[in-house]
């Protein structure tokens, strides 16, 4: 068995500590149990495998990608295992734990200012494209615009959820940055049962919520936020809004309070997007008629964020309390 053969087939964990109607169940897929520590292992294995089959990635080649950390970790892991070089660009808000883990596996990390506007030379996406263009024989996964991103989830995440829960699935809820998870998983679940509801969660400061509801990308709404791996300042071509039924906005405080709840009440130490996803799943669960089953994903572990969202001093410096989860009026 090699490292890539252990990607996927992660367990579904029922969450029982949240205040939802008695016959509404919430399940979360433990994607932090992938060998690279996140859900991004799935897409990296799928895209690299496709590139090798098509001759786009030769022995000893360089893989270049922009990442908020988890895709980079999967690339670094598989690059090390397959003899590739990895160059990864990321915004400077990415936790030090993530950056250090990539370097430990031999990747070159290029840190870019999170404040750089889309299209500027210092934006982490633009920087990756520039490095790719200047590195002969290199390969770029292009996770934001590559349809294989969503296809990986259509062929793995969605089927695994359906195999485990079948027609009981009522709704799938997930945050999105590239859009691969929400698009591919929702498309598969809807192919099995068109009545499955798909809900995208978008952080305040991202563009997807306004775009979905009003068809507008408003640069004035782009603002900094702390959650890593969710939301975006540009439209990713991988995001397929045709399979999304609603978009709910969350805040950093919503996500981080739910992370603490998961750690202290469920024994699950998870990252910020996991907190956001479960917070959203709770809101959806409260709006559904019973019986119902809401499914979400836990994209990565909280071990990567100990210095931030589990650090009382960091929370205090950035104005986050330790209160209960804030409710949201149902929108479904």
Q: Which residues are catalytic?
A: 40
Q: How far apart are CA 153 and CA 46, in angstroms?
A: 9
CA dihedral 104, 107, 111, 112 (to 10 degrees): -160
CA atoms within 13 A on the CB side of 254: 22
Sign of the Cα pseudo-torsion (211, 213, 216, 222, in order): negative
DSSP 8-state secondary structure symbol assigned to residue 70 = H
Other beta carbons within 10 Å of 119:
10
Closest residue by Cα to residue 73 from 112, 95, 103: 103
Q: How far apart are CA 109 and CA 50, in angstroms?
A: 24
Give 42's strand partners.
Answer: none
- Sole residue written with tokens 């691969």: 180
Mapped onto helix, strand or coil, the DSSP state of residue 174 is strand
Contacts of 163 (CB under 8 A, 6+ apart): none
């Amino acid at each position: 068995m090699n490292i890539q053969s252990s990607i996927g087939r992660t367990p579904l964990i029922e969450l029982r500590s949240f205040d939802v109607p008695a016959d509404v169940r919430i399940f979360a897929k433990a994607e932090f149990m992938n060998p690279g520590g996140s859900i991004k292992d799935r897409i990296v294995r799928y895209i690299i495998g496709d590139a090798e089959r098509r001759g786009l990635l030769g022995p000893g080649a360089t893989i270049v990608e922009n990442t908020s950390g988890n895709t980079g970790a999967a690339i670094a892991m598989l690059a090390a295992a397959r003899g590739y070089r990895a160059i990864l660009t990321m915004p400077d808000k990415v936790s030090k734990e993530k950056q250090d883990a990539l370097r430990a596996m031999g990747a070159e990390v290029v840190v870019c200012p999170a404040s750089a506007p889309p299209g500027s030379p210092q934006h982490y996406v633009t920087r990756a494209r520039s490095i790719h263009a200047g590195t002969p024989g290199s390969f770029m996964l292009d996770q934001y615009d590559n349809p294989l991103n969503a296809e990986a989830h259509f062929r793995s995440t969605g089927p695994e959820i359906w195999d485990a829960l079948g027609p009981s699935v009522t709704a799938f809820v997930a945050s999105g940055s590239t859009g691969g998870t929400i698009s591919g998983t929702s498309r598969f679940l809807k192919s099995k049962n068109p009545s499955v509801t798909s809900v995208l969660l978008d952080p305040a400061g991202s563009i997807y919520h306004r775009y979905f509801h009003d068809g507008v990308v408003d640069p004035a709404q782009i603002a900094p936020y702390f959650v890593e791996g969710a939301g975006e300042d540009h439209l990713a071509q991988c995001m397929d809004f045709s399979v999304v039924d609603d978009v709910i906005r969350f805040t950093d405080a919503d996500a981080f309070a739910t992370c603490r709840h998961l750690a202290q009440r469920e024994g699950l130490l998870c990252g910020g997007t996991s907190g956001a996803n479960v917070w959203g799943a709770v809101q959806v669960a409260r709006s559904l008629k019973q019986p119902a089953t809401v499914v979400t994903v836990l994209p990565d572990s909280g071990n990567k964020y100990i210095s931030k969202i589990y650090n009382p001093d960091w929370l205090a410096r950035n104005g986050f309390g330790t209160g209960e989860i804030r409710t949201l009026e149902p929108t479904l």
